[in-house]
Structure 1
Amino acid sequence: MAVTGLVLLGFVIVHLLGNTSVFVGPDGINAYAEKLHSLGPVVYIFRLVMLAAFAIHIIYGIQLTLENRAASPAKYAIQKRQRATFASSTMIVSGLVLLAFVIYHLLHFTVQVTDPAISAKANLDALGRPDVYLMVVKGFQKIFVSLIYVVSMVFLFLHLSHGAQSFVQTFGLTNANTLPAVNVGGKALSAILLLGYIAIPLLIVIGFVKI
């Protein structure tokens, strides 16, 4: 869980950095997308690695949840959380929501089948490149679509805010003195990623980024 979680966290950070090229304009994100596709087999190998990490993370997450429930099949008469937080107690829920979101996101911007009319495969920019900028902007101009992304990123924040701290603890890198700082650091990183990701659909919806 910890190792695959770290791999996925790295992807989330790199993916955000790439996505922010939309703020540069059409040439920014279209050039970025073209560069990725020019890597050929490297991209597909990377995708396979990420798919494997994602699958392993999901399998172990479900297994861990089932083991925890089997260890305490009967609910306590009085629920008292000593160190558990809302984020830690809903990891399986946030994880499943993110799984559904990833599937939708792939269909939306990778496979490009949710709205074929704005597909980058069907629209080229002035330089003959797939117009990813048009696809992203027109896609997020739809309030419902943007809402899906914003809500999903809130779940990502919840998942990462506990996951980052849990990763450090799993490898025995915390103690009573450093744990508070690790918790704050995990939440801070999660908040930065949340703000970075939701900034894209929100700025498009309000018209800051437009065609």
Structure 2
Amino acid sequence: MATSGYIFNERPPIGLLVAQAVGITASTFLFGQNAAISYMFVPAVLQAPAPLAVRQWKKVFDIGYANGPVLALISGAAFAFVAYKQDPSSLPFRFNVAAAVLVPSTVPFTFAFMVPTNTKLDEKLDSFAGTALTDKEAEAGVAKEETTHALLDKWATLNLARAGIIGVASILGVWAAVDKREAVSSSFKLASGANRMG
């Protein structure tokens, strides 16, 4: 409907709004979770002896493993649904398609780049089964790049890259949601003083 040079769209269907909210919420949660693990958790864990550090990492890893892939797929599906309902020539459509691809792409990213490090850390955990958690000499003689701390640092870097992928998708999803340039005409102007009401 057009009124006084302005174009107003009808309110989107509730299903579309719910899908948009799910996609944005799931992706931003995943971004925050992954970024916090790499930025705050791992640096703190690196202060602990290797047997304790790897056990702490495993606890956080298991929590992320339980919800990360599911949330990535749900978020991707939600963004894809929103894109399906949009004009293919619009910017929000393109942003939602990109978000729909990026968030779930973290699953193959994990398998391609992170699983080898995950496996090494799991092996470290097993090797420390009978070692005291406070044993600072548990890895005496181990090559520096193969120590628990080096592996945790590598894992955190890869995890931060994964968070970056999700962060970009989240930004695109939010941008698509708030892109309302079609709601006002190009003749819209801000006036000052007594003329501000037109």
Q: TM-score, with normalisation over the residues of structure 1?
A: 0.44
Q: TM-score, with normalisation over the residues of structure 2?
A: 0.46
| Structure whose alpha-carbon radius of gyration is higher | 2
